[in-house]
Amino acid sequence: MSTAPRAGRLSTLQAAFVMARRDFVAVLFSRSFFFFLLGPLFMLTVLALAGGVGKQVRQNTERPQLGVAMYAADTDAVVKAHSVLAAQIGPAMPQLVVVRRLAPGEQFDPLSEIKSNKANLAAILTGTPEKPTLTGPQERIGDWQGRVALIAAQAAGKGPESFPDVALSGIATSKADQSQSRMATAQIGQTVLFMLMMILAGMVLSNLVEEKGNKIIEVLAAAIPMDAVFLGKLFAMLAISLVGITVWGLFGGAIWLGSGNSLANYPAPAVGWPMFFGLGVLYFALGYLVIGSIFLAIGSMATTVREVQTLSMPVTMLQLLNFFFASFAIAQPGNWIETAAIVVPFSSPFTMLAKAAQDDALWVHGAAIAWQLVWVALLVKMGASLFKTRVMQSGSGGRDKKRWWQRKSPAPA
């Protein structure tokens, strides 16, 4: 047999990687994971179909509308131009409603018209086709500017080769409106995080049953520290979960974007969309590791799949409690309930993601991430110790009773 390279001592992280690699490959290429992936995809397809029908119904009622308030002749020209372009471009063209045909010399205040919110008006086009002005919320008018220029050019009879400049008049969203919108984003973020946790964290419960059933656990326990076994299993399942989220996310995102949706139609979180998504992934990972380490410890006490199933009910209740606590906390910004929800490691990821939607401060996320990492390490250590003492029935020691600084270096072997 070849003698090089030789086996070398593994650190806990290296040992965890060996374990994680085995579990990741075994789960990823199993038939059960394939079906597990398919489940939510079916659900997304059904939701997309239902959403498509709903969208058709909503299109005439809830679709954000572009109002026009110009002199009568200009209004008619804009309406005609819109209908010509809508026939060519389709639903991407905003729905047009005539707010008012102005009499010569008549004054019109588009701002108060939008704020009166009589119709589903998202922006109002005023001025003339040669010198149009678009008034509305900044993100909306920015999105529509190009299309409005196209309509104005058509209405002015200039054709698409000569676009008039569209003056933009942004409406600053009030602080109250903004925080209400961000609250909605926070709640949606929390709910999505919770749903993913519910679907994915439960997998960890049954993760040690195979090893115990196959008696492999003794081989593992003899070769690597139990902490490494726990850590490896946890990270393998996290990686599997991220694969699942990526597949579902790509599939769902494609359907969502394909249906003509855009993030611009939703209230932006305080930290911005890219950071919000980044933090979402990070908090999912941390939440998964924190809750997963508890689940792994609980599941490791079970000897059969049936026992695991029995355990899953109280575990689901525990998850729900965390979610409710975090949901309650986002409505209490700055008071002790929010602080408690951030400090409690199980509700912290949910609360912090909601905070990212409401508050643009980033340092708190750094602190929260460090705090949650400490808890992951602690819980993995506790779970492994519990497993060793309760399942393997290990004792208190077997080492020299001297502290490490009192020991002499080992005798040469």
Partner 1 sequence: MHGNADVPSVRPLAIEARGLVKRFDGFTAVDGVDLTVPEGAIYGILGPNGAGKTTTLRMLLGIIDPDEGVRRILGTDRPHEVAHTIGYLPEERGLYPSMKAYEAIAFLGALRGLPLAEGRKRGKELLEEHGLGYAIDRQIRQLSKGMAQQVQLLGTLVHEPKLVVFDEPFSGLDALNQGKLERMMRGLAAKGTTVIFSTHVIAHAERLCDEVAIIAGGKVPFAGPVDVARDRIRPQVRLETRAQDGPWRGALPQDVRREGSHWYFSLPESGIEPLLRALIEGEAGILSLSIERAGLHDAFVAIAGEAAARALEEDKDEARR
26 binds partner 1 (CB under 8 A): yes
32 binds partner 1 (CB under 8 A): no
Shortest distance, position 3 Cβ to partner 1, whole Å: 7
Shortest distance, position 373 Cβ to partner 1, whole Å: 24
Radius of gyration of the chain (CA): 29
403 binds partner 1 (CB under 8 A): no
104 binds partner 1 (CB under 8 A): no
Identify the residue among 43, 119, 195, 216 touching partner 1 (CB under 8 A).
216
How many residues sit in the footprint of partner 1 (CB under 8 A)? 45
Shortest distance, position 380 Cβ to partner 1, whole Å: 16
Residues from 41 through 60 that contact partner 1 (CB under 8 A): none
Residue whose CB is less far from partner 1, 27 or 291 = 27
411 binds partner 1 (CB under 8 A): yes
Identify the residue among 51, 142, 170, 225 touching partner 1 (CB under 8 A).
225
18 binds partner 1 (CB under 8 A): yes
SS3 412: coil
61 binds partner 1 (CB under 8 A): no
- Give whole-number Cα distances, 175 to 29, 179, 180, 360, in Å: 50, 6, 8, 14
Output phi, psi for 125, to 5 deg: -100, 125
Shortest distance, position 7 Cβ to partner 1, whole Å: 4
Residue whose CB is less far from partner 1, 140 or 212 = 212
What is the helix (H) or strand (E) element at residue 131, kind and residue range?
Answer: none
| Tokens matching residue 287 | 């939440």
Identify the residue among 111, 219, 320, 362 touching partner 1 (CB under 8 A).
219
Neighbouring residues of 40: CB distance < 8 A, sequence distance ≥ 6: 199, 244, 248
Q: Which amino acid is at 289?
A: L
Cα(175)–Cα(168) distance, integer angstroms: 21
- Give whole-number Cα distances, 80 to 46, 59, 85, 305, 346, in Å: 38, 20, 9, 67, 58
| Tokens matching residue 373 | 């990492």
| Tokens matching residue 212 | 């115990």
Range in contact with partner 1 (rule: CB under 8 A) among 39-47, 99-107, 218-226, 300-308: 218-226
Kindly state the DSSP code that residue 387 receives in the 8-state scheme. I
7 binds partner 1 (CB under 8 A): yes
Q: Which amino acid is at 391?
A: V
Shortest distance, position 287 Cβ to partner 1, whole Å: 29
400 binds partner 1 (CB under 8 A): yes
215 binds partner 1 (CB under 8 A): yes
The number of C-alpha atoms within 13 Å of 24 and in the hemisphere containing its C-beta is 18
Cis peptide before 5 (omega within 30 of 0): yes
* Residues contributing to the site for partner 1 (CB under 8 A): 1-3, 5-10, 14-15, 18, 21-22, 26, 30, 210-211, 214-225, 388, 392-401, 410-413
